[in-house]
A = this chain, B = another copy of it.
Amino acid sequence: MTETAPRPTLEAVAARAGVSRATVSRVVNGGDGVRDPLVERVRRAVDELGYVPNQAARSLVTKRHDAVAVVVAEPETRVFADPFFALQLRGISKELTAHDNQLVLLLTEGRDDHARVGRYLAGGHVDGALVFSLHLDDPLPGLIRRAGVPTVFGGRPGWSDGDGDSDGGDVVYVDSDNRGGARDAVRHLVGLGRTRVAHITGPLDQTSAADRLDGFRDVMPDADPRLVVPGDFTPAGGERAMRGLLDHCPDVDAVFAANDLTAAGALRVLREHGRRVPEDVAVIGFDDMLAVTEQTDPPLTTVRQDIEEMGRLMARLLLRGLDRRTAEVPGATRSGVVLPTTLVRRASA
């Protein structure tokens, strides 16, 4: 523990400068109405004593912290294991830093800790919050609403019940066109002449995963139900799902995986079983994360979404809402922004 000397007080500064407490307060808080020579004397006393204004008291008055919380509704282990979050945080960090706002990342061990996150958000420590990777039954949206901090969501929130947000009009989010991207991927597989196209889903309590499944069904409305198998956005989930597919549908000739990590797991299992990619089974992922697509064998065909840009836009929309001077966000509606996706063709499909 660094044991610090007691902090110099406002009174000490006033005594040193030979002025009243109120004068010091006015100078320190940037107020007007103090004559220049007095301002100079107060400033010198502040410097000499190393006085630091009590920021907690001060921000009670200004109600501004120049700090933004980021909450990822996943355990910290996943935040560090999945490069998706690092990319989104990179975009957020660049935008907040450009506006001299502090990025405050609130980490948790899991959902049990979300009440504590809600308390921190309610505690007057940040001007707003950026929240992503929400799951349907997560208590966070309610906690955030009660905390009363302006919030922008990463990914379209899934609630539409009578929970006070039913009109959806006051929720702002940044998302990708998950459904359209999924349609592009599945159409590409069909265009290659594949007839037994499988889908390994993401966690279906997240709208991104549900929307990608909807896109798959748009193109394959009559798919064999055994060709749709659950995954969880992780390589281990992709491996498990691919093993199940090979067991129950050995004639599978294409896989649309809900994200790149899932596809990487599926590719490993296909190789283990001696299936050639793309000759025997074509594979497409979603995300286009370099950290994953550079490592897969063969190189992964995937649906690209600009994850870093999503983070940047979340931060920009929030700062605009807080009346900071930021650039316009093209294409933003009252609900936010939905970014387009692109199919990136490599060797796996």
* A residues at B contact (CB < 8 Å): 1-4, 7, 50, 52, 54-57, 59-60, 65-67, 76-77, 80-81, 83, 86, 89-90, 93-94, 97, 100, 102-109, 113, 116-117, 119-120, 122-125, 128, 144-148, 150-152, 170-172, 317-318, 321
Contacts and interface: CB of A to CB of B under 8 A. Distances in A.
A317 to B, nearest CB: 7
Given A1-B151, A104-B120, 19 more contacts: A1-B170, A2-B144, A2-B171, A2-B172, A3-B170, A52-B147, A55-B119, A56-B123, A56-B124, A65-B125, A67-B125, A76-B89, A80-B86, A93-B108, A100-B116, A104-B104, A104-B125, A105-B105, A105-B106
Contacts of A59: 56, 123-124
Stoichiometry (number of copies)? 2
Contacts of A119: 55, 66, 102
A50 B80 contact: no
B318 A148 contact: no
A261 to B, nearest CB: 15
A77 B65 contact: no
A108 B89 CA distance: 11
Given A90-B77, A148-B52, A2 B103 contact: no
